[in-house]
Structure 1
Amino acid sequence: MSEAENFARLMRELKERGGLSYGALARRLHTSTSTLHRYCNGDALPAEFAVVDRFARACGASPGEAVDLHRAWLLADARRRAGAPAEPESGEGPEPGPEPESELGAQPVVVGEPAAVAEPAGGRPWYRRRAAVVTAAGVAAGAVAVALLAAAGPELRAPRAGARTGTTAEGNGPGAGTSAPTGSAGASGTASAPASEPGATRTPEPSPPAGGSGPGSALPPSASSPAPAPPRAPAAPLRAAVRSHVWTAGCDHAYLAERGPGSVPAPPVEADAPAWASAQRAVHAGKQIVEVTLHGTGAGAVVLEDLQVRVSGRRTPPAWNVYQMSQGCGGALTPAVFAVNLDAPRPLARPVAGNDAGGTLPAPAFPMRVSAAEPVVLRVEAVTTGCDCDWSLDLRWSAPSGSGTLRIDDDGRPLRTSAAPGRPVYGYAAEQGRWGR
């Protein structure tokens, strides 16, 4: 079985197990159904690993299966480049020009979604074009695959689907391994530049013995030389304004504070809630609403792909008092939100429809498009009845300049929401100027 046939076999196995149609998968990969058919039949090979990575994610591949698929693609791509030039992916247009030569040596393979390379304006939309130049991680991984082929010859085979390797699984529950986000947006305002590529899982390649050669060595002596550092991921082309003290209907909210009612000042209006809560060292009681307003910072659009919840700490709720900001209020508008149950082992941001005076407000849904002229507001409502939780949100985005993850938190610190089971509840009596039960 050739390298291309083995790669196509792994794609077919993942697709059949995932239960998705060719049409549904093609929409998620931003490609045509006929092109996806050619990938799975072994008639064509993706020119960049980003397509392979999105395919593995869409089919629910495990970290080990994603590594197997990546290796199979590397071997097939190396064999293709070593022989005749590959044919175009589809009839939509000719292949991009030849790739520029790279002086990158062997380095660990990056299993994640590499940053896309911007293309000139015109033609197909940016998310339908194939990149004209592979990313630094793809070039380095291709060099490793070529070296493996040169040493082992045509008999070298890729691992079977499902084989486990030394990878780290991602998760969003307590204690789960996570990767550093590529940007951060706190309660005070804007996104910062990324520090590293999101979701990157590195799989080490075998190293040759001292001296770079010897029996059993899979790499030539030149592959042991240090490789240049990969380029930094692109900065998030987003500006985010975060409000972490949003009250229901602008008046209904509760805080948990250690101080007694005699030393707690009168409740503020919603706009002054951050300063009031900071002065009292108060914590959101039972529920917290977070609003994130996003603007694009460049000329093009940015696609918001997914919103993930990260719970970084769970504690027993403190034995403090509950202070209600209002004795009762309401309104005719219930906004659509992403609802989060912080007590779940793996909390998810679930879209929930709203209501406006009897009319249904559709639930929010990804993907979303945001630009400088078209802002997007995300409203997240997190609840807990059993823990004092530290949490944050990871917003995945993609743009012509690349892709990444924007961390949404409280100005660099995690958001904090605590349950208040059986605690004394106080309301403020304005006519008496004091808190009472």
Structure 2
Amino acid sequence: MSEAGDFARLMRELKDRGGLSYGVLARRLHTSTSTLHRYCNGEALPAEFAVVDRFARACGASAAEAVDLHRAWLLADARRRSGAAAPTPVPVPEVAPTPEPVPELPVTAGAAEPAVLVAGPAAVGEPAVRPSWYRRRAAVVAAAGLAAGALAVALLAVTGPDRGTPQAGAGPGAGTPGPAGSAPAGTPSADGTAPTESAPGPGPSSPSAAPGGPATAPAPSSAPPPSAAPGRAPAAPLRAAVRSHVWAAGCDHAYLSERGPASVSPPPVEADAPAWASAQRAVHAGNQIVEVTLHGTGGGAVVLEGLEVRVAARRTPPAWNVYEMSQGCGGGLTPAVFAVNLDAPRPLARPVAGNDAGNRLPAPSFPMRVSAAEPVVLRVAAATTGCDCDWSLDLRWSSPVGSGTLRVDDGGRPLRTSAATGRPVYGYALEQGRWSR
């Protein structure tokens, strides 16, 4: 049984024992019923452990069971990052022998998705003998060693996979290299741009350009930040991982594509959105959420002083179709964000408070402190009703080595968000297996 199949089996066992329907669980997890069904069948893997954590709590899992489920997700996620074949459904759980002691593997428990600031995760111990409900084959346990590198980075960023290769860069005004000039994983970039989850693709200034591409796993590096060249701003002592395909509640989003509904693939899960959007030559419709995870690369702290919005181009929105990723999706969690109105003459990143089941989440504010031990997560929600916009973010920072600006964009290209007002809207009908208006 594959790592993804083993994880799916554990989810099915917890669901069956909890006695909750897919519909009830989907509402509690803030996701769609079809997406949850794919998780439990082994056809897809959650993009973030926060979904897995909410699932375990909704099903009444014990602390030991939650740790086992967390480990299974980490192994499956590491396998996905390594470029292995996609998970296949596992219809019938195998009959396992009597549990036997296995070597203890420390696991860090996941946390709910952070609103703006994310502290380091807390360690949770695991019993030496697994509970009887969970039977893992020795091969899967042995595979834990293969996932060690991905595990360390995944837990540092907290918010799940789809992390771009972390880099640090110089101040504003530096040139942006193309894919051929990109720095290797774990090597600070010299141009001040933060990497994203997107793969190289057509430039966004073309009407048919599309963001997105397969995500790459971040590679940790212990190298000190590079010193500045004479006459240039110092390189940012920061690593930044950018996710440009973040969906509201993990399921609510829409894309514009010039293709007709018969030529568009079924909607993906959030983790596969960059590759799906690239294949459909799709762009974000109406709004886009960008998540930036930052941590220091040196021994000292870095102060984040402010965030500026740069709109590089405004075009007439293309007359394409709108494809909604989910229908009837929603939940009780609204993270705090920096809201950006791209239609404004000079767009600003405006702090907005969030809400978690009636509890107010304070709005983010600068300055912020970030270090290797204290990561920070920034969420930016951009919206437009009148333009096809190319835009980026400049994050101002200062530290003992100097000060500068870190460019946040889509892997060296501007982020792209287009208005979709008045365009034909399609949703995916699971019963018919096709897009329909």
TM-score by length of 2: 0.50
Q: Match of 2:309?
A: 309
Q: What displacement does 1:250 show?
A: 0.2
2:225–2:297 contact (8 Å) kept in structure 1: no
Q: Match of 1:239?
A: 239
**3-state SS, counterpart of residue 343 of structure 2:** coil
Distance in 2 (CA, whole Å) between partners of 1:329 and 1:276 is 19
Structure 2 unaligned blocks of 5 or more: 1-171, 176-190, 198-217
Q: Match of 1:319?
A: 319
Q: What displacement does 1:232 show?
A: 3.2
Q: Match of 1:186?
A: 195
Aligned CA distance change for structure 1 residues 422 and 366 (closer, same or farther; 3 Å): same
**3-state SS, counterpart of residue 272 of structure 1:** helix
Q: Where does 1:260-271 land on structure 2 (aligned, <5 Å)?
A: 260-271=260-271
Distance in 1 (CA, whole Å) between partners of 2:225 and 2:318 is 35
Distance in 2 (CA, whole Å) between partners of 1:230 and 1:255 is 45
Distance in 1 (CA, whole Å) between partners of 2:303 and 2:312 is 27
Q: Match of 2:285?
A: 285
Aligned CA distance change for structure 1 residues 389 and 430 (closer, same or farther; 3 Å): same
Over 2 Å off, 4+ runs: 178-182, 188-197, 229-233
**3-state SS, counterpart of residue 196 of structure 2:** coil
Q: Percent identity?
A: 82
**3-state SS, counterpart of residue 314 of structure 1:** strand
Aligned CA distance change for structure 1 residues 240 and 264 (closer, same or farther; 3 Å): same
Matched letter for residue 258 of structure 2: E
Distance in 1 (CA, whole Å) between partners of 2:345 and 2:224 is 31
2:227–2:234 contact (8 Å) kept in structure 1: no
Q: What displacement does 1:194 show?
A: 11
Distance in 2 (CA, whole Å) between partners of 1:254 and 1:435 is 13
Matched letter for residue 435 of structure 2: W
Distance in 2 (CA, whole Å) between partners of 1:234 and 1:365 is 25
Distance in 2 (CA, whole Å) between partners of 1:309 and 1:335 is 20
Aligned CA distance change for structure 1 residues 267 and 404 (closer, same or farther; 3 Å): same
1:396–1:406 contact (8 Å) kept in structure 2: yes
For residues 129-171 of structure 1, what are the alpha-carbon distances to aligned partners after superposition, in whole Å with 9 as ceiling and x for unaligned?
A: xxxxxxxxxxxxxxxxxxxxxxxxxxxxxxxxxxxxxxxxxxx
Higher CA-based Rg: 1
Distance in 1 (CA, whole Å) between partners of 2:354 and 2:328 is 20
Q: Where does 1:84-233 land on structure 2 (aligned, <5 Å)?
A: 179-180=173-174, 183-188=192-197, 230-233=230-233
Q: Match of 2:415?
A: 415
Q: Match of 2:372?
A: 372
Q: Where does 1:378-393 land on structure 2 (aligned, <5 Å)?
A: 378-393=378-393
Matched letter for residue 301 of structure 1: A
Q: What displacement does 1:396 show?
A: 0.3
Q: What displacement does 1:234 show?
A: 1.8
- The CA RMSD over aligned residues, in Å, is 2.4
1:195–1:233 contact (8 Å) kept in structure 2: no
Question: Alignment length, in residue pairs?
Answer: 229
Q: Where does 1:55-74 land on structure 2 (aligned, <5 Å)?
A: none
Distance in 2 (CA, whole Å) between partners of 1:302 and 1:394 is 15
Q: What displacement does 1:262 show?
A: 0.3
Q: Match of 2:4?
A: none
Aligned CA distance change for structure 1 residues 184 and 269 (closer, same or farther; 3 Å): same
1:193–1:236 contact (8 Å) kept in structure 2: no
Aligned CA distance change for structure 1 residues 193 and 405 (closer, same or farther; 3 Å): farther
2:305–2:398 contact (8 Å) kept in structure 1: yes
Structure 1 unaligned blocks of 5 or more: 1-177, 198-228
Aligned CA distance change for structure 1 residues 238 and 273 (closer, same or farther; 3 Å): same
Distance in 2 (CA, whole Å) between partners of 1:258 and 1:413 is 21
Aligned CA distance change for structure 1 residues 286 and 196 (closer, same or farther; 3 Å): farther
1:299–1:372 contact (8 Å) kept in structure 2: yes
Q: Match of 2:273?
A: 273
Distance in 1 (CA, whole Å) between partners of 2:394 and 2:258 is 31
**3-state SS, counterpart of residue 266 of structure 2:** coil
Matched letter for residue 375 of structure 2: P
Aligned CA distance change for structure 1 residues 256 and 193 (closer, same or farther; 3 Å): farther
Matched letter for residue 429 of structure 2: A
Q: What displacement does 1:299 show?
A: 0.4
Q: What displacement does 1:301 show?
A: 0.3
For residues 12-42 of structure 1, what are the alpha-carbon distances to aligned partners after superposition, in whole Å with 9 as ceiling and x for unaligned?
A: xxxxxxxxxxxxxxxxxxxxxxxxxxxxxxx
Q: What displacement does 1:328 show?
A: 1.5
Matched letter for residue 186 of structure 1: P
Q: What displacement does 1:298 show?
A: 0.5
Q: What displacement does 1:196 show?
A: 12
Q: What displacement does 1:339 show?
A: 0.0
Q: Does 2:364 align with 1:355? A: no
2:317–2:418 contact (8 Å) kept in structure 1: yes
For residues 342-369 of structure 1, what are the alpha-carbon distances to aligned partners after superposition, in whole Å with 9 as ceiling and x for unaligned?
A: 0000000000000011111000000000
Q: Match of 2:336?
A: 336
For residues 372-394 of structure 1, what are the alpha-carbon distances to aligned partners after superposition, in whole Å with 9 as ceiling and x for unaligned?
A: 00000000000000000000000
For residues 396-437 of structure 1, what are the alpha-carbon distances to aligned partners after superposition, in whole Å with 9 as ceiling and x for unaligned?
A: 000001111000000000000000121100000011000000
Q: What displacement does 1:195 show?
A: 12
Aligned CA distance change for structure 1 residues 193 and 348 (closer, same or farther; 3 Å): farther
For residues 181-229 of structure 1, what are the alpha-carbon distances to aligned partners after superposition, in whole Å with 9 as ceiling and x for unaligned?
A: 86110214699999999xxxxxxxxxxxxxxxxxxxxxxxxxxxxxxx9
Q: What displacement does 1:314 show?
A: 0.3
Q: What displacement does 1:179 show?
A: 3.7
